[in-house]
Amino acid sequence: MSSAWRSAFGKIWDTFPYQNAVLAFACCTYAWETYLNWRQFSRLRTKRRPKAVEEISSAEDYEKAGGYSRDKLLYSFVHDSYDLVELFITLSLNLGPKFWAFSGDLISAAGYGTNNERSPALRRCQIKILQSVLFAFLSLVASMLAEMPLSLYFEFVIEARHGFNKQTLGLFLTDKIKGIFLGTLIGIPVLSGALYIIRVAGDSFFFYVWGFMLVFQLIMVVIFPTLIQPLFNKYTPLEDGELKTKINVLAARIRFPLTKIFVVDGSKRSSHSNAYFYGFFGNKRIVLFDTLLAHSSVEEVCGVLAHEIGHWFHNHVLQGLVIIQLQMLVQFYLFNEFIHYTPLYASFGYDSQPILIGYLLFQYIFSPVNTLLNFSMNLLSRKNEFQADAYAKKLGYTDVLRTALIKLHVKNLGNLNPDSWYSAWSYSHPPLVER
């Protein structure tokens, strides 16, 4: 911690029990979210439909949606409990320091330890970066394996029970393997670059590493939909016809810089439906899920797209990007203040101060702020959704957007009886009854 922080807070923070504070906050968050889940679960057990949904949903659809939401809430309770127990085990048994030491042992066994003859060929920082990369890779694999039973249950029991899961076990496992491969392929150079910048940039590293991550994110915005997503789904240009003509007319009417329209085979994994656009500046591309086209009319699809284009008109994507960059810059600046703060490392059982470990520990103690920021972003997102709805209404799509949203919500078994507290905390999109 810098001298400025020390003079401001004295030595009280040197003996602060950071690990216990992290566990206490995790318990408080767990208790709060469990309470919200209980509030929502209680509402979903009500057999009588709210007046707001009586005209848009049958009693049968209401019960189906309630059953799906109840199952997801029970799953959420189990998942959150699992995560809390995992956190307690990881921190209480000092698994992080042991995992870090294990990564170092593997590096040494490969001939790159500090006492090996091959070590002079590599600078010390390169060895530490190599150890950090290995630690990150092993952590990724361990996390994915620990999460696997819950993921399998959600996809092949809950989603399948309610008619949504369409993927085979083979496809599910293939996706996981692809995820590990891509995470490794992309993550190694990015992590190595960030760690190297932090090591050589000195006390002002926060600005340089932020710039590095900004460039990386902008590159990913370009390559993710064009190079990475096609590895998981098939994107087919929308065939000529009434729908394509009307979409192009809509885009030309409001000068939306549309270049291509694709249909993605989302149905090979799930019957959930969606639509979105991507691209910079004058190169916007629209993606329609085949499941959306299966149960929506041409006008309803145009209504949904008018809503999505409303996000473009009001610069919501740019707004989100700016907010994320500001948050990241502030986090890197604050991390710069804690990166050499020995009591923080010692509180979690580390006898050294690796950069990657320092950042992970900083994320632990920054979690209360992140929780509030996530809640604030939910509120902003809900505001933006209403703004995009208003834009579609302005274009004359009020009725068709209304019917399209009802169909989407009913087909996706969306929550038709949301608790206000649960909704405000959990949903980035306002529920159908509010819209």
Q: What does the block give as tokens for 60?
A: 């049968």
Compute the 3-state secondary structure of the chain and give helix, strand, coil in percent, each to the nearest 5: 75, 5, 20
φ and ψ at 289, to 5 degrees? -75, 140
Angle, CA 19 vertex, CA 135 and CA 197 arms, to 5°: 40
Q: What is the CA radius of gyration of the chain?
A: 25
308 is catalytic: yes
Distance between CA atoms of residues 245 and 229, nearest Å: 26
Q: Give the list of residues 6+ apart from residue 220 with CB closer than 8 angstroms, or none.
A: 186
Query: Is position 409 annotated in a ligand binding site?
Result: no
Q: 311 among the known binding-site residues?
A: yes
Rounded to the nearest 5°, which phi and psi values hold at 270? Answer: -155, 155
DSSP state of 238: P
What distance in Å separates the CA atoms of residue 400 and residue 304, rounded to the nearest whole number? 8
* Helix or strand holding residue 235 (H, E): strand 235-237
CA 240 to each of CA 243, 309, 341: distance values in angstroms, whole numbers, following the listed order:
8, 21, 62
Q: Which of 155, 159, 300, 389 is catalytic?
A: 389
Residues forming beta bridges with residue 287, ordered by sequence position: 262, 276
Chain centre to alpha carbon of residue 115: 41
CA nearest to 264, candidates 283, 252, 251, 277: 277
What string of DSSP letters covers 18-62? HHHHHHHHHHHHHHHHHHHHHHHHHHHT--SPPHHHHTTS-HHHH
Is residue 162 annotated as involved in ligand binding? no
Say if residues 408 and 275 touch (Cβ distance below 8 Å).
Answer: no
Q: What Å distances lie between residue 315 and 77, 208, 246, 292, CA to CA?
A: 36, 27, 23, 25
End-to-end Cα, the chain, rounded Å: 47
Q: Per the residue annotation, which of 155, 300, 308, 419 is the catalytic one?
A: 308
Binding residue ranges: 307, 311, 385
**Annotated binding site for Zn(2+): which residue ranges?**
307, 311, 385
Catalytically annotated residues: 308, 389
